[in-house]
Structure formats: C-alpha cells, structure tokens
Amino acid sequence: MTEFEGQLSGALRTAVADAQPPPAVMAAVRRRYRRRNIWLAAVSAVTIALLASAIPIASALRGGGQTANGRSSAAPLFPGGGRLLLDIHGVLEWFYPDGRRVRIASGFAGAALRSGKLLAWKRGNPPGASRFLPRGCSDPSCTAIHDLSYYTMNLDGSDARLILPAKSPVGNIAFQYEGAQLSPDGSTLAYISQELRNGTGSVFLTRSELWSLDLATARRTDLGPYAAYAPFVWKDNTTILADSANGKSIRLINARDGSATTYLTIADRGLIGAYRQARPGSGPLSSVSLAGWNTGTSNLALSLTGRTRNGAPMGLPVEIPLDQAQVVAFAPGTSPWISLSTTWGPHGLFVLDSRLNKTCGLTRQIMYAGEAVSGRLSRVRTIQETWNAAAVNHQGTVIALAESAFIDFVPVPSPACDAAGKCLRFGEKQFFEPAFAGGVKLLAWDPG
Amino acid sequence: MGREAGDSFEEFVRGRSAHLFRLALLLTGQNQAEAEDLLQIALERAYRRRASLSRDRSPEPYVRRALVDASIDRWRALRRHAEQRLEAADPGSGVDDWAGELANRDLLLQSLAALAPRQRAVVVLRYWEDSSDAEIARLLGCGVGTVKSQRSRALKRLRELAGVSPSFPGGFPSKGSGVP
C-alpha cells in the first residue's frame, strides 16, 4: 500500500469511526416494509372506478400529488397509452399511464402475452430438487433453478390454470422446463425439457428435447432432441421454426407429430448475399440461428454468423420477408463480439439491443430501431446507460426501457416510426419508483 | 415466513447495523440523511427475503450488495434531476484553499464523493473494509481485473481531484507540516 493509499484508508476510518446508525433501525425497516405492502394491497384492492376518479394511489402514497418527475398526477406518467406488464419482485402488475398499478398475480418469475392470455411461470420447490443445486451456490436465485411451472391465466389474473407443473426428481435425475411458448391461438404449448444428472459435486445436462403440449387434451408430443436454451418460434398454430443441431439450417417442425423438414440453410443465396453486403470482406457464412418472429409483418428474423479473417465469429441479424425474395440485413456495429437481442413491435418495427459486454457493469450498449421496409437502423437516443428490457407501444411510436428503479420512455426515431404513420417528438420521459429498485422487469406493453 | 427467520434477521441488524451504516455513509459521500435512507432500503429488501437469506447464509453479503446498488441508483436519480450533488462536491474549490481551510482528510473525502459510485464503492470496500480485490469482485459481480482497473482509475482520479502535488508523490503531507 502506498502512502497515499494509507492516508486514504486512514481518512475513511476516521471519517466514520464515531458514526452511529439512527436509533430503532429495525422499526424503520418494518415501517418501510409495511408501507410497501399496504401500497401493493391498496393498488390491487381499489376499484377501477375509484382509481379513475381519485388521486392515483401510487402518487398519493408518495405524497404531494406529484409524480416522480414532478408533474401533476393528472398528467399521464408516460406517453404511448395502453398499459405496461411489469414483474415487480415476483408480483405481476399492470401499470397504467395515470399511475395505477393493478396486481395480476404474485409469486411468478415472468410472463408473456399471447392471444389475450398470459403465460406465466413460477419457481417452486418440488421435493428433492434442492440436492441438485450447484455446489457453493448461495445466491437466493439458486434455490430453485430446476423447477419452473407454467400457468395460463386471463389478463386480470383470473382463471389461472397450471398447465405444466414442475416435475420432481426421479432418483438421480432432475427435470427442467425452459423457454415455453404458446402457439398463436393459445391452444398448444411448446417447451424444452431437460434432464440433469447429479454427479460428484456438479450437475450435468444429460438430455434436452423439444416437446409440445396440447392444452385441450393434455397430450404431450416429443418433437426430438433440441439444444438446451436454443431459440424456437411458432410459425403458425401447428408448426414451429427451430434451429438445427449443427447450426447450418433452420427446420420446420410439425408440433403434432414431430415430423421435420428443412426450411432454409446457410447455402441460401439470399442469406449469403445479405451477409456479404452487410459484412463486406468477412469470411464464409458458418451458421444460422433464429432471432425471432416479427409478428407485425410475419417476417422471419435470423441471426447469421460468419467468420472474420482471423477466424472470430461475426454475427448480424437479418429479416426475411416471407412474401419477398429480398433478404434485409442490419449491421449495427463492426465488433465481432457484439451480442444482439431483438424486441418486436407493431407494423414490422423492432428495437435492436446491441451490447458489447465488458464486466462490472461496463457494458457498451446501444439501442436501434428498424424495420424491413427501409432496411435502415436508427439509433434510439436515450440518456440511460443500460437497460434490461424494452417494449414498444401498440402504435409503434414509443419505446419503454427499464432498468432498476427506472422506466424511460423515448420516441421511436425516424424512419422506423414512419411505418406507424406518425412520429412523436418529445424529450425522454422518465418514471422513477424507489420500490422498483433492483426488482422491476418490463415484460410487455399491452394496448389495454 | 417463520418467526425464526425474523428473529435471526433482527439479530443480524442489531449486530451489524453500525458497520453497514458507516458503509452507507461512505458510499453516499457522507450524507447522513441519504445514508440512513440507503440503509433502510437495503435492509428492507433483505427483510423481504429474510426467510431464504437466513436459511442459506448470513444476509450481510446481500445487504452490502443492495447498499452498493442502491447508492448507484440514487446517484443516477440525482444526476438526472436538479440536485447535482457532484457539482456541489466540486473539489476544485477545495484545492484552491485547502491549505487554509480544509484538512487533508476532508479534501480526500470530498474528492471521494466526486467519484462515480462504482469506483467509490471499490475504494470504500478496499480501503475501509480491507476487502481483497477478489472479494470485491464477488460482491460487485465482476472480474478481479475490472476491480483492479476501477481501483487504479479511482486512485488516479482521487489524486487529481485532491490536487496531490508532485512535491508529495507519495501522498499528502502530514497535517500541520506547512503546505506550500
């Protein structure tokens, strides 16, 4: 330790040596805890009529009739209309522009909207699962990693139905259901089923398969081996687009009988041409995987990976309009190490999260908006350094970005907003709620 | 949630609140009110999870992490709103009259308050808590190399902010030694 460091250490010690916490810390913590619970209970208990005519509960409990950004509670807290689906520390809630927070259900780890229904998943603790925890894992999130159960429910939380319960371990084998998705009409669930074997201090993945579950008949169909955590998307109510084992093609799988055909391969001339155009000078196309399904236009979105001259993988997203021959490629950056994720909006709009991961929160993260018609990406201007989730309103004019206790709202930039028929102009709006800190997840933006 | 978990959490708070409050004080640049608030936020978060925390281990790592996260959240909120505490803590004024007005310690602490919150957290954890780089990395969820580089940058910035003179390359002159 240098002399400077020594003096720094001494200064820190001296500065707080006599500091004492306020009296009755625990009482204050309990008060804060009760206030939060009262707040949540109040939001879920008060009727819509009362909420519409009275002061928004959230603002009232914060005091002063002012929102976090100082505006009158009569003004919308955020632009874009509709309502946001949030997961706040395991409680699914609707969050409205007037500040209302309406509780849907609690104890869930996440949810997705599909066909006017919610598919929600919950961590439980089937008997015997705890012995499969990784050795040395003490984080609370590790306490239930092999036991997701899936539910469907109405948008208000009613009619909740357990459709895929977590399975208890059998002998030395544990089971894990991942990535479940409802078909567009909500009649069938597709999911990845994994088997894990408990070894000497470690847990090994021994099997991973894609399955479908008919919700009307409870019939399960084995759709064959599938890589753990690999993406798949429903193309229509009976077929699933899926990655291939070798990463060289995309397959079309019949969800009723498991029969599969090749949908496209890396030899597809459209893919090769788009990749070369977006990544001039790169090596040959080496793999293709699903990035999602642009529900606004029925375009298939893919992630292509080629090789740089020094052999490093270099990926970029492309969109393939199914009714057009032209493949549209988007190249948001030149680093081969950029990771990309996509959030779909209406009218073919998507937001592309480009992330160059470093460590310790030092992520270079840029968000773009784009659509296949113009084939251009526009940078979304935001003061937020990082965000964990994005959603686009149903009009395709506003993007919401969530991180920690903040939800930011930014206009969709041009030309991406042109698809919506109008482009909004407003400065970034921010909603700050201390109760969200460390726990809010933005799941979807529903028209309401 | 069992009474046992609640009792053991209270015991933890009784035993560790002084240390955690001092940590909060340093993380907030010695703002008493903010530190009290931060401590309550972190403890309330842990209180909500007391059952799972008490079952597996001491809640302290969770609370310390929550303190750091909350201090960063708070800093972001302040930065985006009118209250710009970092400007108020502008060390430039301290440098001008530090010889006459401020003790070295105060100048260092003022400079500490002007660091980015994660750098400040690294400095506090290293030089106040005597945590190793590996322990800090575990707590902050990042690599040891990153902690080292953050610490190195923080020290460089502290030297700049505190105006450590080339005449005193090792650090500050001791108190009362007559600063030029």
Task: Report CB contact under 8 Å: A32, B44.
Answer: yes
A38-42, A156-160, A312-316, B168-172, range with the lowest pLDDT: B168-172
Of A66 and A373, the structure prediction assigns the larger pLDDT to A373
Q: Is B53 on the interface with A (CB under 8 A)?
A: yes
Determine the residue of chain A that is closest to B149 in CA distance.
A360
Task: Report CB contact under 8 Å: B172, A7.
Answer: yes
Strands A188-198 and A350-356: unpaired
- What is this structure's pTM? 0.59
Give the mean model confidence (pLDDT) for residues A323-348: 71
Q: Tell me the domains of chain B and their CATH numbers.
A: 1-84 (no CATH), 89-165 (1.10.10.10)
Of A63 and B72, the structure prediction assigns the larger pLDDT to B72
A89-93, A400-404, A427-431, A436-440, range with the lowest pLDDT: A436-440
Is the pLDDT assigned to residue A49 strictly greater than 50? Answer: no
> Chain B contacts of A8, Cβ < 8 Å?
108, 123, 127, 155, 158
Distance from CA of A135 to the nearest CA of B (A): 13
- Residue environment code for A289-322, b if the CB has 16+ CB neighbours within 10 A, otherwise e: bbbbbbebbebbbbbbbbbeeeeeebbbbbbbbe
Q: What is the pLDDT of residue A55?
A: 42
Task: Report CB contact under 8 Å: B105, A10.
Answer: yes
pLDDT in tens, A243-268: 888 888 889 999 999 999 998 888 88
Is the pLDDT assigned to residue B19 strictly greater than 50? Answer: yes
A339-353, B87-101, B155-169, range with the lowest pLDDT: B87-101
Average pLDDT, chain B: 70
Determine the residue of chain A that is closest to B12 in CA distance.
A26
Contacts of B75 (CB under 8 A, 6+ apart): B116, B117
> Chain A contacts of B40, Cβ < 8 Å?
25, 28-29, 32
Is the pLDDT assigned to residue A67 strictly greater than 70? Answer: no
Q: What is the pLDDT of residue B96?
A: 42
Average pLDDT, chain A: 77
Task: Report CB contact under 8 Å: B26, A404.
Answer: no
Q: What is the pLDDT of residue A158?
A: 94
Of A190 and A430, the structure prediction assigns the larger pLDDT to A190
Give the mean model confidence (pLDDT) for residues A280-299: 72
Confidence band (pLDDT; 50, 70, 90) for B169?
very low
Contacts of A23 (CB under 8 A, 6+ apart): none
Distance from CA of B98 to the nearest CA of A (A): 15
Helix (H) or strand (E) holding B164: none
> Chain A contacts of B170, Cβ < 8 Å?
2-4
Task: Report CB contact under 8 Å: B146, A16.
Answer: no
Is the pLDDT assigned to residue A228 strictly greater than 50? Answer: yes
Distance from CA of A4 to the nearest CA of B (A): 4
Is the pLDDT assigned to residue A384 strictly greater than 80? Answer: no
Q: What is the pLDDT of residue A82?
A: 94
Task: Report CB contact under 8 Å: A438, B36.
Answer: no
Q: What is the pLDDT of residue B97?
A: 44
Confidence band (pLDDT; 50, 70, 90) for A362?
low
Determine the residue of chain B that is closest to A136 in CA distance.
B56
Mutate which of A5, A12, A409 to disrupt the B interface (most B C-beta within 10 Å)?
Answer: A12
Q: What is the pLDDT of residue A416?
A: 86
Asked if A340 contacts A358 with a C-beta cutoff of 8 angstroms, the reply is no
**Half-sphere exposure of residue A274: CA atoms within 13 angstroms, side-chain side:** 28
Of A256 and A336, the structure prediction assigns the larger pLDDT to A256
Instruction: Say which residue the tokens 């990845």 belong to.
Output: A192
Mutate which of B7, B10, B19, B48 to disrupt the A interface (most A C-beta within 10 Å)?
Answer: B48
Of B81 and A322, the structure prediction assigns the larger pLDDT to A322
pLDDT in tens, A96-129: 998 899 999 998 888 999 888 999 998 766 666 6
Give the mean model confidence (pLDDT) for residues A150-167: 93
Give the mean model confidence (pLDDT) for residues B71-91: 49
Task: Report CB contact under 8 Å: A21, B146.
Answer: no
Confidence band (pLDDT; 50, 70, 90) for A308?
low
Q: What is the pLDDT of residue A189?
A: 96
Is the pLDDT assigned to residue A190 strictly greater than 80? Answer: yes
Q: What is the pLDDT of residue A81?
A: 92
Give the mean model confidence (pLDDT) for residues A339-366: 73
Q: Which of A9, A143, A360 is nearest residue B52 as measured by Cβ atoms?
A: A143
Q: What is the pLDDT of residue A441?
A: 85
Most confident region among A3-7, A67-71, A102-106 by mean pLDDT: A102-106
Task: Report CB contact under 8 Å: B36, A21.
Answer: yes
Give the mean model confidence (pLDDT) for residues A128-139: 58
- A contact set with B (CB within 8 A): 2-16, 19-22, 25-26, 28-30, 32-33, 36, 89, 138, 140, 143, 358-362, 383, 404-406, 430, 432, 434, 437-438
Give the mean model confidence (pLDDT) for residues B65-88: 59
Is the pLDDT assigned to residue B44 strictly greater than 70? Answer: yes
> Chain B contacts of A432, Cβ < 8 Å?
77
Distance from CA of B119 to the nearest CA of A (A): 10
In total, the C-beta contacts within 8 angstroms joining chain A to chain B are 138
Of residues A107, A86, A97, A99, the one with CA closest to residue A39: A99
A-contacting residues in B 71-130 (Cβ below 8 Å): 73, 76-77, 80, 104-105, 108-109, 112, 118, 123-124, 127-128
Asked if A90 contacts A107 with a C-beta cutoff of 8 angstroms, the reply is yes
- Which residue type occupies B178? G
Q: What is the pLDDT of residue A51?
A: 39
Q: What is the pLDDT of residue A72?
A: 41
Give the mean model confidence (pLDDT) for residues A212-225: 95
Please name every residue paired with A72 in a beta bridge, in sequence order, or none if there are none: A66
Mutate which of B9, B38, B45 to disrupt the A interface (most A C-beta within 10 Å)?
Answer: B45
Give the mean model confidence (pLDDT) for residues A13-36: 80
User: Using the 8-state DSSP alphabet, how is residue B103 labeled?
Assistant: -
Mutate which of B1, B22, B32, B142 to disrupt the A interface (most A C-beta within 10 Å)?
Answer: B22
Task: Report CB contact under 8 Å: B26, A361.
Answer: no
Task: Report CB contact under 8 Å: A20, B146.
Answer: no
